Amino acid sequence: MKVMKFGGTSVGSPERMKGVASLVTKSGKPTFIVLSAMSGTTNSLIEISNYLYRKNPEGANEVINNLEQKYIGHIEALYSTDEYKQKTRLFITEKFDYLRSFTKDLFTSFEEKNIVAQGEILSTNMVVNYLQEQGVKAILLSALDFMRTDKNAEPDLPYIKEKLSAIMKEHEGYQIYITQGFICRNAYGEVDNLQRGGSDYTASLVGAAIDAEEIQIWTDIDGMHNNDPRVVDKTEAVRQLNFEEASELAYFGAKILHPTCVQPAKYSGIPVRLKNTMEPDAEGTIINNVLVKSKIKAVAAKDNITAIKIKSSRMLGASGFLRKVFEIFESYQTSIDMITTSEVGLSMTIENASHLSEIVDELKKYGTVSVDSDMCIVCVVGDLDWSNVGFETLATDAMKDIPVRMISYGGSNYNISFLIKEADKKRALQSLSKVLFNE
């Protein structure tokens, strides 16, 4: 079976939902589909929660009412029979009444999780109703019945596998199985989610759980590009990526794929195909086990990076210094992305700077600390095994007019990362495209 996941824009209107329905039924084979919320909905649900955290029920109600009108407005366009119009209207009203029920009580992150989950619950119900109205044998399986995270908030794959197989066995013979992306239960059974953009992760976990033949991620672009299309004028879709290359690109800024998504597919060896809903016949990008030798594939960039340098003569020849430094970051649950070292100094980058001042204060116990904000990691990805001669020179040559704060190479066989000022990003990415891809 194939898993097909559709993002927010792909289910963003009644027309798009109909498009999804025709795509998933085209092959005539049993298919498992994972849907995001309609685009903009998750943001609105978070806005509602923010009003409620600030004890402003009027503000929340206004967003709820506007969103409800929008959803009710989709009914006429989507369904052709009174039966399904009525059924869907009832469902939508019930969900919005449920949202309104939160405006009266104490508000915590528990309530927020329940509110935020409604986006995917709405979109999947609308689509399954549409498919059934069209006579397709489709069934909605609630993600809350099988998607679960463990005590470390990591997906519990053995549990998901066992539960989902049992559910599928109970419901054999359907053409289309639908579930919600993003939402899950935590180890205590409470409604939770896999973080923003987490529907990709759901698709990959479902694929691994049912041992799918392929996991398809449908978005509104024709695959992973060799550079950031929002920054560089001429970019091209990359047709094939190795799992490792794809993870590096997703982690270091390529917006098309959620960084965690690749892992379950990689461990189960299931290919992931990125496809474009607007151009369903275009090839897209395939992510699999194959590594094309001696080829640089793509460049990605990640903004909002802070660099921290600690210089200490105590580091000279001392053991245990790195551990002390890393423990400080760990105690503030701040993860480090890039590291470079010299005999007397250490530079690191972080993305989450919410505990920066505390971290810096503690680091000062060990040496002189300096901070550079508004930085950007530029990551060059491909077969960069150290035995390949000349690739790092090519990348550094492209950066020859850019002030570079850090360079990291050799951590994996798949990337070289540069830390530069955010203000230099456009110049750097353009130059890399020119040198590496002749663009």
The least CB distance from residue 200 to ligand ASP, in Å, is 6
- Does residue 40 have a known ligand-binding role? no
By the rule CB under 5 A, 119 interacts with Mg ion: no
The least CB distance from residue 368 to ligand ASP, in Å, is 41
- Does residue 269 have a known ligand-binding role? no
- Does residue 391 have a known ligand-binding role? no
Query: Of residues 6, 7, 222, 275, which one binds Mg ion by CB under 5 A?
Result: 7
Q: How far is CA 312 from CA 282, 338, 366, in A?
A: 55, 19, 7
The least CB distance from residue 161 to ligand ASP, in Å, is 21
Q: How far is CA 58 from the centre of its chain?
A: 32
Region of residue 136 (phi > 0: left; psi between -120 and 50: alpha; otherwise: beta): beta
Between 10 and 226, name the residue whose CB sits nearer to ligand ASP: 10
Number of residues that bind Mg ion (CB under 5 A): 2
Query: Of residues 197, 198, 223, 253, which one binds Mg ion by CB under 5 A?
Result: 197
The least CB distance from residue 240 to ligand ASP, in Å, is 24
- Does residue 42 have a known ligand-binding role? yes
Separation CA 19–CA 418 (nearest Å): 41
Counting Cβ atoms within 10 Å, is residue 318 exposed (0-12), middle (13-18) or buried (19+)?
Answer: exposed
Return the SS3 of 261. Answer: helix
By the rule CB under 5 A, 264 interacts with Mg ion: no
Counting Cβ atoms within 10 Å, is residue 217 exposed (0-12), middle (13-18) or buried (19+)?
Answer: buried
- 3 state SS for 59-75: HHHHHHHHHHHHHHHHH
- Does residue 230 have a known ligand-binding role? yes
Q: Read off the tokens for 17.
A: 């939902």
Between 42 and 334, name the residue whose CB sits nearer to ligand ASP: 42
Counting Cβ atoms within 10 Å, is residue 371 exposed (0-12), middle (13-18) or buried (19+)?
Answer: middle
Closest to 180 measured CA to CA, from 26, 41, 25: 41
DSSP 238: -
Between 39 and 312, name the residue whose CB sits nearer to ligand ASP: 39
- Does residue 8 have a known ligand-binding role? yes
The least CB distance from residue 258 to Mg ion, in Å, is 6
Q: State the residues that interact with ligand ASP by CB under 6 A.
A: 7-8, 36-37, 42, 119, 181-182, 196-199
The binder of 70, among ligand ASP, Mg ion, none, by C-beta within 5 to 8 A per type, is none
Between 160 and 384, name the residue whose CB sits nearer to ligand ASP: 160
Largest interatomic CA distance in the chain: 79
The least CB distance from residue 98 to ligand ASP, in Å, is 18
Q: How far is CA 274 from CA 24, 223, 325, 367, in A?
A: 15, 5, 40, 47
Residues placed in the known binding site for substrate: 42, 120
Interacting residue ranges for Mg ion, rule: CB under 5 A: 7, 197
Residues placed in the known binding site for ATP: 5-8, 219-220, 230
Residues placed in the known binding site: 5-8, 42, 120, 219-220, 230
